[in-house]
Structures are given as structure tokens and as C-alpha cells.
């Protein structure tokens, strides 16, 4: 490898790694903000949170990698131009395509790696994070005894505490209703004070109560509910110290079965998506054929043997519907009209329900096509963004995190809006999924070619001094004419 190539790669890899992790951090914070309500107050262990962040980071790579490529290429070529290193290379007879050749090879390698990541790693991480997020959402909130509020998180019990000492943890005026057997408050416990602490394994809650009373209604199962309401004997127990143990169910994270999420299009690779899509298309075409036959058999023709008729033979019977209708009696005409209206209404209802079903099945097929194309758009987006950022950096000749960040964010927002719009149109069957997923890349590709051509020919199209000089010349001409 030539010294020049090593220098270019060294100048590029540093900003690429830095911008990639900065972008990942920003997107990860956005992910946490989105799911903060589902995570806070669940008492999750640190390893569960770390696992969730790891899978979420992998899922954010398709957004972070193209933006990092754009920003790093723009910064690298901008730094070289600002320090006159790019000018020195061109003065030595080295063209811009030759200067960019090692970066082009590296970008191709990154694009290929991004494709294999999207096809092999991303479906696995999507499966894991879908399962983990579902499990977290199903978990009960962390058990917190609040003052003056009934807590119903423990199954079969309602607990209320009037005061809580924040320093010692002592609870005052504790009221416990037990209704786990018959869903009624048959047992009531009141204590002047006490402590409540979960066990080390978080399976039980131990309540130590002081100076209280327990009241319990005694039900006679041999009598019906009305007879029991007439008179209910009760038990009264006074205690100085009592220990109650509550079983904590649902407070520990229980992971859902991954098999429930394996059929999702987001958890499949290209081969699986293609197989499922072919099966869905075949089933859809079969349903369309059956729908056509049912419409003809049940609506257009009422003869059950019409499908068995030899279609090569011409029908010799000519029937005049108007003449036949006129031969009917008045009551027969009414019955015929009513029957025709009923048939038309049932056919309309059948067509309407089938139309909605066909629409949703087409949308489901389109989702598989979208995911199939998404495996390739990530790789191609990295390639396109490099050929936007590198020539643009060579033209503007500004390095650092100032101007390159602003320009990169503008281009990425433009790309992201077009990509979201195209994907939405594809999901709603307005556009073909192939067009919807590739429209953003195909719009930016001519821009990359144009900027590459301008950078190769040393254009000043993005140089602010060029426009400032032009404006000054126009102002001087206007001043000359005004004085004349």
C-alpha cells in the first residue's frame, strides 16, 4: 500500500468511527426516550437493561452507518482541503479519483458488510428485542408502597399506608384487605405500625406488624348467599406483633417465547422472506380464483351445473328477459324483484368484505417486499452518501464538526424524509414496494454524480467566496450606473 493511501485511510477511519458512535449515542437516547414509560419503575436488573440497549444499538445501525459515512467523508475531505493538503496532492499530478480510490474500496467493503449485517444479524436482533420489549411491557411495575393510596399490585390484597418514615422505613396506620378467595373483603387487618421488606430473591414480601387487630368474617358454605347476608359471625384477633408473608407474582421478568415472533417479516432473512412471499402470493392468487368462481356461480348464474357445460358449444336458446318478466303474475313479479334485490345485496356485501380482505393481504405481502429491499438499501445508501460527502468536502474545503455537521444533517434529513414517504406509500399500496424503498437512493445518486464531476473539475459552485465576489461585482456595477 502506498504512503498516500495509508495517509488517506488514516484520515478517514478516525472520523468514521467517531461519527458512528456519536450517531449511535444520539439515536440510542431517542430509543430510550421513546420507551421510557415501559422501562421506568419495573425494577429491571442491570443485565436486562444492558441486553436491551445492545439489541437496540444493533437495530439502529441502518440509520447510523449511512449518516456516519456521509459525515466522515465530508469531514475528511474538508480537512484535507482546508489544510491545503488536497491542493498539494493535485499539484503533484494526482487526480481526485485517484486520491479517493482507497476510500472507495473501503466504502465498498463497508457496503458489503452492511448487507451481510442486514441479512444475518439484524433479523436475529429484531427477534431478540421484540421478545424482550414484550416481556418488559408485560411485567408488573416495581412494588412501591405509597402514602395514602391503596396498592393492588399484590394479587388478592389491597394495602394502604397513611405515613412512611423515609429514614427508618417505619410504616404507620397500616390497613390490609384480603379478598383473594371470594373476591370480597372477608379479612381486614389494621396495625398501628410496622415494616414491609421483600426477601432477597424478590419472591415474597414480609410484613412485620405491631399493635393491631384482625377481623375476619366466617362464611357458612352450606347456606346460600342471601342467608349468609342475614347474619355473619366474625372473628376478632388482637396482636402486639404479627408477621404476614405475601407471595410476589409477576414482579420478576418472565421472558416470552421467541416462537411467537419468528413469523414476523422483520425477523427473517432474504431467503426466508422470498419463500414466505411466494407462499403468500400463491395463496392470494388461489383465493382470487375462488372469489371469481363464487361470484359467477352464486350471483351471475344460479344453475349449479354451469361450470360443467361444454364451453365450445354455442348456446342455441335465446331468452327475452323482458318478455319472460311480463308473463309473470303481479305477486310473482314482486317476489322476483325482492329476490333479485336480496341477491344483489348479498353479492355487494360479499364483494365488500372480500375487497377488504384482499387489501390487507396485499399489504402483508408488500411488507415482505419492503423488508426484502431494505436489506439492500442500507448498503447502497452508504455508497451514495460517500459520493455525496467526499466531493462536497473537496469543494467546500471546511473541516471539523461545524459546517460538515450542518450539511450532513440537512442531506440526511432530506434522505430520511424521502425514504419514509416512499416506504409509507409502499405500505399503503400507493407505490410499488421496489419503487418506494429505492426512490430516496435514486434521487440522491444523480446528486452524488454531479458533485463528483464538479469536484473533479475543481468547481467553485459550493465556495462562498465565489458568490461573495459575484455579489460585490454586481453592487459595484449598480453603484457605477447610479453615479452616472
pLDDT in tens, 39-96: 766 667 777 888 888 888 888 888 889 889 988 888 888 888 888 887 788 787 888 8
162-211: pLDDT as tens digits? 888 878 888 888 888 887 665 566 788 888 888 887 776 667 778 888 88
Residue finishing a domain among 221, 247, 273: 247
- Which of 317, 343, 369 finishes a domain? 369
Residue environment code for 375-388, b if the CB has 16+ CB neighbours within 10 A, otherwise e: bbbbbbbbbbbbbb
Does 171 fall in a domain? yes
Q: Is 192 inside a domain boundary?
A: yes
**For position 217, what pLDDT does the model report?**
76
Residue 423 located in a structural domain? no
Q: How far is CA 69 from CA 57, 132, 415, 420, in A?
A: 17, 30, 14, 20
Q: How far is CA 51 from CA 47, 48, 121, 133, in A?
A: 6, 5, 15, 11
Question: If you search the block for the grid coordinates 354455442, which residue do you land on?
Answer: 314
Is pLDDT at 267 greater than 80 in this prediction? Answer: yes
Rounded distance between C-alpha atoms, residue 39 and residue 346, angstroms: 50
Q: Which pLDDT score is estimated for 250?
A: 58
Q: Which of 223, 161, 212 is nearest to 187 (CA)?
A: 212
In a domain, 426, yes or no: no
* 378/358 same-domain check: no
Residues 133 and 7 in one domain: yes
Q: Do the domain assignments include residue 441?
A: no
User: How confident is residue 372, by pLDDT bands cut at 50, 70 and 90?
Assistant: very high
In-domain check, residue 226: yes
Domain limits for position 347: 259-369
Statement to judge: residues 9 and 23 lie in one domain:
yes
Average pLDDT of every residue of the chain: 80
| 289 shares a domain with 184 | no
Looking at the DSSP assignment, which residues form a beta bridge with residue 177? 158, 188
Last residue of a domain, one of 336, 353, 369: 369
Residue 298 domain flag: yes
Q: 87 lies in a domain?
A: yes
- Above pLDDT 90, what percent of the chain? 4
pLDDT given for residue 425 in this prediction? 92
Q: What's the confidence (pLDDT) of residue 227? A: 52
What total number of domains does the chain contain?
3
Amino acid at each position: 500500500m502506498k504512503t498516500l493511501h495509508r495517509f488517506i485511510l488514516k484520515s478517514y477511519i478516525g472520523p468514521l468511527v467517531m461519527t458512528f458512535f456519536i450517531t449511535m449515542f444520539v439515536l440510542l437516547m431517542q430509543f430510550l426516550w421513546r420507551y421510557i414509560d415501559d422501562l421506568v419503575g419495573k425494577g429491571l436488573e442491570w443485565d436486562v437493561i444492558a441486553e436491551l440497549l445492545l439489541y437496540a444499538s444493533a437495530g439502529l445501525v441502518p440509520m447510523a452507518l449511512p449518516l456516519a459515512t456521509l459525515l466522515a467523508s465530508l469531514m475528511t475531505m474538508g480537512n484535507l482541503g482546508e489544510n491545503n493538503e488536497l491542493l498539494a496532492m493535485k499539484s503533484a499530478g494526482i487526480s481526485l479519483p485517484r486520491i479517493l480510490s482507497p476510500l472507495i474500496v473501503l466504502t465498498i467493503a463497508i457496503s458489503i458488510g452492511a448487507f451481510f449485517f442486514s441479512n444475518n444479524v439484524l433479523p436475529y436482533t429484531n427477534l431478540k428485542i421484540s421478545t424482550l420489549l414484550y416481556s418488559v411491557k408485560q411485567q408488573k411495575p416495581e412494588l412501591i408502597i405509597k402514602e395514602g393510596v391503596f396498592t393492588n399490585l399484590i394479587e388478592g390484597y389491597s394495602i394502604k399506608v397513611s405515613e412512611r418514615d423515609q429514614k427508618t422505613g417505619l410504616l404507620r396506620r397500616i390497613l390490609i384487605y384480603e379478598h383473594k378467595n371470594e373476591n370480597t373483603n372477608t379479612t381486614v387487618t389494621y396495625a398501628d405500625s410496622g415494616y414491609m421488606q421483600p426477601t432477597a430473591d424478590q419472591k415474597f414480601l414480609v410484613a412485620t406488624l405491631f399493635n393491631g387487630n384482625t377481623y375476619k368474617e366466617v362464611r357458612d358454605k352450606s347456606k346460600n348467599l342471601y342467608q349468609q347476608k342475614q347474619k355473619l359471625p366474625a372473628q376478632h384477633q388482637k396482636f402486639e406483633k404479627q408477621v404476614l408473608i405475601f407471595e410476589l407474582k409477576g414482579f420478576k421478568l418472565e421472558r416470552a417465547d421467541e416462537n411467537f415472533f419468528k413469523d414476523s417479516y422483520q425477523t427473517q432473512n432474504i431467503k426466508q422472506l422470498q419463500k414466505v412471499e411466494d407462499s403468500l402470493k400463491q395463496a392470494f392468487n388461489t383465493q382470487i380464483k375462488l372469489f371469481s368462481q363464487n361470484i359467477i356461480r352464486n350471483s351471475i348464474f344460479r344453475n349449479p351445473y354451469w361450470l360443467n357445460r361444454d364451453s365450445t358449444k354455442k348456446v342455441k336458446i335465446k331468452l327475452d328477459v323482458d318478455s319472460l318478466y311480463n308473463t309473470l303474475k303481479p305477486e310473482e313479479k314482486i317476489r322476483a324483484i325482492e329476490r333479485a334485490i336480496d341477491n344483489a345485496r348479498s353479492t355487494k356485501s360479499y364483494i365488500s368484505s372480500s375487497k377488504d380482505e384482499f387489501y390487507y393481504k396485499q399489504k402483508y405481502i408488500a411488507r415482505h417486499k419492503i423488508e426484502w429491499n431494505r436489506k439492500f438499501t442500507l448498503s447502497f445508501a452508504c455508497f451514495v452518501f460517500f459520493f455525496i460527502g467526499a466531493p462536497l468536502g473537496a469543494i467546500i474545503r471546511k473541516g471539523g464538526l461545524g459546517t460538515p455537521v450542518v450539511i450532513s444533517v440537512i442531506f440526511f434529513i432530506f434522505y430520511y424524509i424521502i425514504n419514509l414517504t416512499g416506504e409509507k406509500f409502499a405500505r399503503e399500496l400507493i407505490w410499488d414496494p421496489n419503487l418506494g424503498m429505492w426512490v430516496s437512493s435514486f434521487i440522491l445518486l444523480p446528486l452524488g454524480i454531479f458533485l463528483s464531476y464538479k469536484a473533479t473539475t475543481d468547481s467553485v459552485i459550493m465556495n462562498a467566496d465565489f458568490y461573495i465576489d459575484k455579489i460585490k461585482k454586481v453592487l459595484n456595477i449598480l453603484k457605477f450606473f447610479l453615479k452616472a
